Amino acid sequence: MDRVKIFDTTLRDGEQSPGCSMNLQEKIEVAKQLELMRVDVIEAGFAISSPGDFESVNTIAKTVKDCSVASLARATVKDIDTAWEAVKVATDPRIHLFIATSPLHMEYKLRMTPEQVLARTAEMVAHARKYCSNIEFSAEDATRSDWEFLAKVVNTAIANGATVINLPDTVGYTTPGEMRALIEYMVKHTDHAGRAEFSVHCHNDLGMAVANSLAGVLGGARQIECTVNGLGERAGNTALEEVVMAMHTRPDLYHVNTRLDTTRISRASKTVYNIIGQNAPLNKPIVGKNAFLHESGIHQHGVLANKQTYEILTPQSVGIVANNLVLGKHSGKHAFESRLNELGYHLSAEELLSCFEEFKVLCDKKKTINDEDIEAIVLHKTTTHDMPEDAGFKLDRFVVHTSNFTTSTSTVVLTRDGEKFEEVSLGDGPIDASFKAIDKIVNPEAHTFKTYTIHSISEGKDTLGDVTVRLAAGNRTYTGKGLSTDIIEASILAYINAINKMQYAAEQAKIREAN
């Protein structure tokens, strides 16, 4: 069987979608998960787009060892030079440059003639190739391009040293039949044999990104570009977990394999959802809560007799582990750790201790602790800080008075560096009052309050409330997370977490300026 390479662009195409921006620590956390999952290429960002992007591409290039690391670049000298500067430290660096080839994009966006686009392709691929032998060239809006012209561009890119030719369905316009035919046409009409492989990059505007990517494979593509949970602009990109599990489930049809450790999928998906403060829709294929549930009597009967009656892939194959141990207040650190290991979490001694302490606090509030609670604790403890643990304000205590006929009041006490601060505020409900009291203490820099989301971690009235708050200041977004069986406390914790991150970033910027 041929191998299909998995090119993950969660940190570039995924991250650039609204509400999905990640800070450096979060990007590193995602990159680590991608490496453990054994994707072939991590597109770490678009190095020229901002100093922050450059730093994260560069840090990921230094950190990741088992995958190629790519940076996106437009077909300009400055973009390519910056991309190279950022990725050159990687074990296997890749420059990914692109130029649009559709009549619409060439005329209205680039204001270039087809001849100019051809000439630029030749010049810029050759320029990138001077730096590195792993060069990906993308013909943006390929699926709305003229095929004959596209073949000329592809041949030019290959002749000048491109080793991967990516044909994106930039606006999610194509269909499976058309995508397969496009790749077959390019395989037939270009001089690629032994020099370059074809890749597909699909957007999901018409809900066909996964199907189109698979059709590209049938046409001869040997790289799929995708994102964890299908993150991406507008309706998203090809979902990694779906496209990979389709190939794994139907080798009889696709005759290909990947090098992915599919048992890492569930964890990677949770990490990404946790960072962006979202939950998988219940019926999301592969990673949704209901993806492996059988509720109807007929289905349950069938599954009990033989799982394959209604199960085409197992939860275990994507890393979902059946719960066989209920933890509670009498469970010790070993039982806790062994459950974590079964769930795929291997923590440092320090992380383990802090999660265990949190677990014990939860045991006093909740009778039984299930896997979802444990995972929530671990995800909160291990992926939410991008600043020293002891920096910023901490919640000491709060008191709220609220009813449906009076104005709510909240008194909040915070500590910082051993000092206590107390403020009281009125508000439109207990959460608003608490946030206002915190603002009085912190006096945060000007920002916009972007989003507040809350969801319950598990079933039952004593469930943990998981709150995400997003604040925006300058061109950055700060995500704060809070977890508690008390939703007002979870909200306060999330708000303090976001404010701390914002204040810390501002302080660091001032220090950089002063130096």
Q: What is the nearest approach in angstroms of ligand KIV to the Cβ of residue 498? A: 29
Cβ atoms within 10 A of the Cβ of 217, count? Answer: 25
Q: Does 120 bind ligand KIV (CB under 6 A)?
A: no
Site for ligand KIV in 354-383 (CB under 6 A): none
* 96 or 385: CB nearest ligand KIV: 96
**Alpha-carbon gap, residue 481 to 493, rounded angstroms:** 7
Q: Does 140 bind ligand KIV (CB under 6 A)?
A: yes
Strands 223-226 and 93-100: unpaired
43 binds, among Zn ion, ligand KIV, none (CB under 5 to 8 A by kind): none
C-alpha distances out from residue 177 to 149, 174, 180, 325, 331, Å: 20, 8, 5, 48, 56
Q: What is the nearest approach in angstroms of ligand KIV to the Cβ of residue 98? A: 4
Scored b (16 or more CB within 10 A) or e, 454-476 reads: beebbeeeebbbbbbbbbebeeb
Cβ atoms within 10 A of the Cβ of 49, count? Answer: 18
Out of 54, 84, 98, 273, the only residue in the binding site for ligand KIV (CB under 6 A) is 98
**Alpha-carbon gap, residue 151 to 190, rounded angstroms:** 6
138 binds, among Zn ion, ligand KIV, none (CB under 5 to 8 A by kind): ligand KIV
The three-state secondary structure class of 470 is strand
269 binds, among ligand KIV, Zn ion, none (CB under 5 to 8 A by kind): none
Q: Does 136 bind ligand KIV (CB under 6 A)?
A: no
Chain centre distance of CA 136 = 22
270 binds, among Zn ion, ligand KIV, none (CB under 5 to 8 A by kind): none
Q: What is the nearest approach in angstroms of ligand KIV to the Cβ of residue 203? A: 6
Site for ligand KIV in 149-168 (CB under 6 A): 166, 168
* 206 or 391: CB nearest ligand KIV: 206
Q: What is the nearest approach in angstroms of ligand KIV to the Cβ of residue 165? A: 11
Q: What is the nearest approach in angstroms of ligand KIV to the Cβ of residue 61? A: 19
Question: Residues, the chain, total?
Answer: 515
Q: What is the nearest approach in angstroms of ligand KIV to the Cβ of residue 206? A: 14
Q: Does 13 bind ligand KIV (CB under 6 A)?
A: yes
Give the number of residues in contact with ligand KIV, rule: CB under 6 A: 9
Scored b (16 or more CB within 10 A) or e, 129-147 reads: bebbebbbbbbbbbbbbee
Q: Is 57 exposed, middle or buried (0-12, 13-18, 19+ CB in 10 A)?
A: buried
Out of 8, 11, 12, 13, the only residue in the binding site for Zn ion (CB under 5 A) is 13
The sheet with strand 465-473 has its strands ordered as 448-456, 465-473, 476-484
Out of 21, 170, 262, 274, the only residue in the binding site for ligand KIV (CB under 6 A) is 170
Report the interface residues with Zn ion, using CB under 5 A: 13
